[in-house]
Amino acid sequence: MTSKDKFFSNKLLEWYEKNQRELPWRKNIRHKDYPYRVLVSEFMLQQTTVATVIPYFKKFINEWPTLKKLSHAKIEDVLLFWQGLGYYSRAKNLLKTVKIIDEDYNGKIPKDKINLIKLPGIGEYASAAISSIAFNKKAVAIDGNVKRVIARYYEIRGNDKSFEKKISEIAERICPNSKNRSYTQAVMELGAIICKPKNSDCHNCCLKSKCSAHKKNTVDRIPTIKSKPLKQKLNCISFLTIHNNSKILLKKRIGKKILTNQWEIPSTNWKVKPVKFSKKSTPVPNAKWKKTNVEFKHSFSHIDLKNTVYKSNINNSQIQLNEDDLKWVDLKKLNKYAVTTMSKKTLNLLNLIQI
DNA sequence: AATCCGGGGTC
DNA sequence: GACCCAGGATT
């Protein structure tokens, strides 16, 4: 432990005391349900910005204020709630984890990383984050923010395995033996609001006097950017069937790997080549179908999808539905279903709903 | 070790 | 359009 290491944790803790944001999951650390709220927040925050999470978190805690209540929830309800937040396996894993804690741990969240990491959806980062933030235990949580802050402060270059190893070794070495609840959040907080990926606010940084990258003016080049594989470009046509301008046909994505079990406007498979319209592929082949002017792109983490929308007005809703996973849904009751964001965008563009 | 999994904000 | 976000599971 060098004086530069000491400076890091001391200055950071001092800065955090005065500058931390008021975030809903940080309130009432003495409350019996505080660890549960930290648990929920850590699931939501994975690869998701604080600003996005806040409204979801508030509604979630309002709906399921305690671990016990969430443990009795149905996965359909949790998924409905998670709609639009993305990475839906988090919702399933959160419910699984809470059920395990309720049954195997007498409702008490494990305090140590070694037990937390066994739970579904909790990995290397989250186990350390929960242990330190919820229980004030010493545990080293390394997320994207931490990597960036440490890489700049010690001027660690690269983006490969050895980079990860160096960051990890330094993080272990400089982690203080107390105030870990604050320290874990302080490093991430600095990364989020001062030591940002771009336009980092070095002028207001409590670490600038000893920051190697700042002194050498290499902040913008650290950490080294990883080249990512190109996104696959895919196409689809979706078929909006509408009755009396009030009810639409939705289909459940059964057996799909992405957006599993969510409801959507029936669509062709996603294909590399532009999809040609054919009546046979529509949910109601004997109806009149018309191409709309709605055509837009929707991006996933690894796919850029172009969606072209066709529409059919159906006068009687008595038509035979051949498949069990097709259903007429009143536009006013759309919020009872987990509907894909792309389908909601479609309905919004057709002025059928407001998002 | 690479790939999959969402969606939105920022520049 | 490229990059990032309090990552984890799967293959």
Task: Give the CA-to-C1' distance from A89 to B2 in angstroms.
Answer: 19
Strand locations in A230-346 (E): 232-243, 247-252, 263-264, 290-299, 303-314, 326-330
A37: CB within 7 A of chain C nucleic strand? no
Q: For residue A321, is pLDDT > 80? A: no
Positions 80-119 of A with beta carbon below 7 A from strand B are 84-89
Ordered by start, the domain boundaries in chain A are 3-221, 232-349
The active-site residue out of A14, A17, A22, A42 is A42
Task: Give the CA-to-C1' distance from A23 to C9 in angstroms.
Answer: 29
CB-proximal positions of chain B, under 7 Å: 1, 3-11
Q: HSE (CB half, 13 Å, CA atoms) of A322?
A: 6
Q: For residue A317, is pLDDT > 70? A: no
CA distance linking residue A178 with residue A264, whole number of Å: 50
Exposure class string for A207-246: b at 16+ Cβ within 10 A, else e: bbebbbbbeeeebeebbeeeeeeeeeebbbbbbbbbbeee
Residue A134 backbone phi and psi in degrees, to 5? -80, -35
**Percent with pLDDT over 90 in chain A:** 95
pLDDT at A323: 73
What type of residue sits at position A315? N
A47: CB within 7 A of chain B nucleic strand? yes
What does DSSP say about strands A303-314 and A232-243: parallel, antiparallel, or unpaired? parallel
pLDDT at A326: 93
For A12-58, write each residue's pLDDT tens digit: 999 999 999 999 999 999 999 999 999 999 999 999 999 999 999 99
Q: For residue A324, is pLDDT > 80? A: no
Query: Tokens representing A309?
Result: 């929308």
Q: HSE (CB half, 13 Å, CA atoms) of A237?
A: 20
pLDDT at A322: 67
For A119-174, write each residue's pLDDT tens digit: 999 999 999 999 999 999 999 999 999 999 999 999 999 999 999 999 999 999 99
Domain A3-221 coded CATH 3.40.640.10:
no
Q: For residue A188, is pLDDT > 90? A: yes
Q: Give yes or no for a contact between A247 and A52, defined as CB atoms under 8 angstroms apart.
A: no
Task: Give the CA-to-C1' distance from A72 to C5 in angstroms.
Answer: 31
DSSP H helical segments within chain A, as ranges? 3-19, 34-45, 50-63, 67-71, 75-82, 89-104, 113-116, 124-135, 144-153, 161-174, 180-193, 212-216, 341-349
Q: For residue A213, is pLDDT > 80? A: yes
Report CA A110 to chain centroid distance, whole Å: 23
DSSP A26: G
> Residue A123: which nucleotide is closest by CA–C1'?
C8
Helices A161-174 and A144-153 cross at an angle (nearest 10°) of 80
CA distance linking residue A107 with residue A100, whole number of Å: 8
CA distance linking residue A192 with residue A214, whole number of Å: 17
The arithmetic mean of pLDDT across residues A100-114, rounded, is 98
CA distance linking residue A237 with residue A195, whole number of Å: 43
**Percent with pLDDT over 70 in chain A:** 98
Confidence band, pLDDT 50/70/90 cuts, at residue A253: very high
CA distance linking residue A355 with residue A337, whole number of Å: 15
The arithmetic mean of pLDDT across residues A52-71, rounded, is 98
A88: CB within 7 A of chain C nucleic strand? no
pLDDT at A10: 98
Contacts of A27 by beta carbon, 8 Å cutoff, 6+ apart: none
Report CA A95 to chain centroid distance, whole Å: 15
Task: Give the CA-to-C1' distance from A1 to B7 in angstroms.
Answer: 41
A203: CB within 7 A of chain B nucleic strand? no
What does DSSP say about strands A303-314 and A290-299: parallel, antiparallel, or unpaired? antiparallel
The arithmetic mean of pLDDT across residues A71-79, rounded, is 98
Q: For residue A318, is pLDDT > 90? A: no
Domain A232-349 coded CATH 3.90.79.10:
yes
Q: For residue A206, is pLDDT > 70? A: yes
Q: Is A17 a catalytic residue?
A: no
Positions 155-214 of A with beta carbon below 7 A from strand C are 185, 188-189, 191-192, 197
pLDDT at A128: 98
A134: CB within 7 A of chain C nucleic strand? no
Query: Tokens representing A125?
Result: 């980062």
The arithmetic mean of pLDDT across residues A62-70, rounded, is 98
Task: Give the CA-to-C1' distance from A300 to B5 in angstroms.
Answer: 9
